Chains A and B, each alone.
Chain A
């Protein structure tokens, strides 16, 4: 006896992550503990509530929200949730969905850029090449605010000019090709 599910964002989230949004009874404990809730446009509990409504307009608001990108994956919400709802997993999925549907919140540009720069660096060297990563990030975002840090980092020997590569780069490329990589 299987119930036919609407193909809403909510049902997809529940299917892909295995997290049951419907279990949330809106106690708000996640929002209470979230370190960045004050910066968010919608608090974690509100995001879950919006998903619960199964309403397409609200679903789009969720995907366009800044909140999903502000989430630090610090897991505080999950470890205190009385209903054991793994919110960070939901956030992960929503982020990927919002990129896929080109709905990334403008304020999150820098964050996404940083993530992408990071991944492309790995794709090319197998390891994080900080200089390359920073450079790409700075160029993409035209944000040179704390470029001043770099010289210090060199002085402290914290930055290598040349990347340290993984020898067997093929395997890395392979991994990227096999895991439907999003264009960096």
Chain B
């Protein structure tokens, strides 16, 4: 006979204000099988948990129902507490009377009644629960990092330095990401490359890190501690071992007019190329779309000049298989172009550029060697206008969120411009200045007071070209919306930061959730910011939301420490909520008829055939068997099974039927 304790949490006002908790407790005590029920202000608090433990002992309870917040929030907390008091953790269930009741309904009878029903449902479920033991699985102590920007680099170094193997996969020919494109960084104005490139070299030299560049994740199988990743290494057309990175090929390549991605299409590169001089690995790639040989079948100049005969025109994509215990996503972000903004010229004015393009202009390694020059005619702009929120906070044409980094980099851009063109005139149209960060506000003030950047609070309505000038029609809302017209030589749009292309496809490939803007979602917005909802997969940097460098780096180290924590044990325990095929004494052995529909249904290849033998070793029956290491407990097989021979622990048929019956027959209480 079950002895169940019911514990109703007020969650302060959160539940208490709308649900009559005392009444819920009172009514639940009348439920069959409930020996004790009580309400309390904060169940999750230490005294709350002590109360539960104490009651378990005094009432020697066999099961517990905690009516409080969502189980996604505190189920582990209470299961742990109860097991400490001697109740098997899987005999504990939570009734979600906060997210699914008090927060979504108004105060009143009906709401309280719903809370009672939810408790009733869980009581009936617990009656059908069985004590379970958690499963132990080995952990493969190697991490897969996707993305070699600053976040991916930081994560890799941290994990590698903790003594674990790291496989770093980068889509581009070189690691470095967006940070390698930046000129100086706010708020210190130190050169981005000077602080980044040493880290890139560290990655290349660290014996624990295997860098696979110009590659993408092909597919992923398995689960936390035991992932199997297939990585597609795109054909470089160059033998990386033979190549010394002397760069002779790139100097001799005849097709030289290809827009350089690294320079945001403001400079040119050759068909065989290294994205930038400090690239890691410093080995060239042949861009087959633009290579004369691949287009018309002749040329091969690179092959002729290569001193180490490293060119491989016949090279093919290679699939590399890796077994890893954890994965960190660090795939970064993208910026919108200028072409999605009709009123700023649909991208038809050469001298209307994006912030990232400005970075390349300002960078000493950029197409203009650090001079600020107009893309159209190479002139140095005497008047320059920066437009903040170009796409951000713009539900109509862009995205509704704030891209977070623009306020700071725009201030920086204006500063850099003033330092390079002291007599120049820089104006910034802004809506708000969001400079929350160490030394950030001070930085912006410096731009205004010392570098005499004109900050105009208002948005720009239109930009058009006239006699080689860009006419910027804005307004000053601090002067009551007075129109302001500026004849500029160059306009820089602080275009919004958006998810990197392919983010959605990747998320679907590895089953992590993502938000409406295709940024990956964290497991909990406050308490689990670097984890995803998929155990063993973590987040670092701007693939989660737009972030500046220090934030990305700290998030990266956070993710790394999570991975290191996971690797600190050689085996980990998993919840036993998995499928099992029933067994019974001879002559039946199992009700499984051996149709093996389940095998075809299982997404994890977790079900295999098992031959049941009698004591003489004679095969009596071939039935299905679940591999507890592989089963993830989705239960698809259970719904498939025609003979009800396979069931899933924690969500068994009995439990579900009991829940349904309880929910719909609330006349008892």
Contact = CB atoms under 8 A, between A and B. Distances in A.
In-complex A–B contact (CB below 8 Å): yes
Interface of A: 1, 25-34, 37-38, 42-46, 76, 80-84
A28 B396 contact: no
Given A27-B459, A28-B457, A45-B477, A81 B396 contact: yes
A28 B106 contact: no
B476 interface: yes
Given A31-B475, A83-B396, 15 more contacts: A28-B458, A28-B459, A29-B461, A29-B475, A31-B458, A32-B460, A32-B481, A32-B483, A33-B343, A45-B477, A76-B461, A80-B462, A82-B398, A84-B395, A84-B396
Interface string B440-472: 000000000000000001111110000000000
Contact of A37 (B393, B457, B475): B475
B480 A38 contact: no
A31 B397 contact: no
Contacts of B135: none
A148 B106 CA distance: 71
Contact of B483 (A27, A37, A80): A37
Nearest to B393: A82
- In this complex, the member of A25, A28, A44 whose beta carbon has the largest number of chain B beta carbons within 10 angstroms is A28
Contacts of B558: none
B343 A80 contact: yes
B3 interface: no
Given A25-B431, A27-B431, A37-B483, A32 B395 contact: no
B460 A31 contact: no
- In this complex, the member of B431, B473, B475, B481 whose beta carbon has the largest number of chain A beta carbons within 10 angstroms is B481
28 contacts: A1-B106, A26-B477, A27-B458, A28-B457, A28-B459, A28-B475, A28-B476, A29-B475, A30-B481, A31-B475, A31-B477, A31-B482, A32-B458, A32-B459, A32-B460, A32-B474, A32-B475, A37-B475, A42-B480, A43-B482, A45-B481, A80-B461, A81-B396, A82-B393, A82-B394, A82-B395, A83-B396, A84-B396
Interface string B328-366: 000000000000000100000000000000000000000
A43 B481 contact: yes
The 6 closest A-B pairs by CB, nearest first: A43-B481, A33-B461, A31-B481, A32-B461, A32-B475, A28-B458
B484 interface: yes
A82 B459 contact: yes
Contacts of A31: 458, 475, 477, 481-483
Contacts of B460: 29, 32
Contacts of B481: 28, 30-32, 37, 42-46
Contacts of A82: 393-398, 459
- In this complex, the member of B389, B395, B462, B480 whose beta carbon has the largest number of chain A beta carbons within 10 angstroms is B480
A180 B501 CA distance: 56
Contacts of A26: 431, 477
A44 B480 CA distance: 9
Contacts of A38: 483
Nearest to B477: A28
A97 to B, nearest CB: 21
A126 to B, nearest CB: 39
B395 A45 contact: no
Contacts of B480: 42-43, 46
Nearest to B430: A27
Contacts of A44: 481
Contacts of B398: 82
B386 to A, nearest CB: 15
A27 B457 CA distance: 8
A43 B458 CA distance: 13
A32 B396 contact: no
B480 to A, nearest CB: 5
Contact of A29 (B106, B395, B459): B459
B130 to A, nearest CB: 43
A50 to B, nearest CB: 10
Contacts of A81: 396
Nearest to A40: B481
A113 to B, nearest CB: 28
A33 B461 CA distance: 5
A81 B396 CA distance: 7
B321 to A, nearest CB: 48
A2 to B, nearest CB: 12
A42 B431 CA distance: 19
A82 B387 CA distance: 14
Given A32-B459, A32-B484, A80-B461, A27 B477 contact: yes
- In this complex, the member of A27, A31, A32, A81 whose beta carbon has the largest number of chain B beta carbons within 10 angstroms is A32
Contacts of B431: 25-27
Contacts of A84: 395-396
Nearest to B476: A28
A45 B476 CA distance: 10
A135 to B, nearest CB: 37
Nearest to B456: A28
B389 to A, nearest CB: 8
Contacts of B397: 82
Nearest to B479: A43
Contacts of B484: 32
Nearest to A38: B483
Contacts of B459: 27-29, 32, 82
A64 to B, nearest CB: 16
B393 A32 contact: no
Nearest to A85: B396
Contacts of A80: 343, 461-462
Contacts of B475: 28-29, 31-32, 37, 43, 45
Interface string B469-507: 000011111001111100000000000000000000000
Contacts of A28: 457-459, 474-477, 481
Contacts of B483: 31-32, 34, 37-38, 43
Nearest to A42: B480
A32 B394 contact: no
Contacts of B457: 28
Given A81-B396, A83-B396, A32 B106 contact: no
Contacts of A45: 475, 477, 481
Nearest to B457: A28
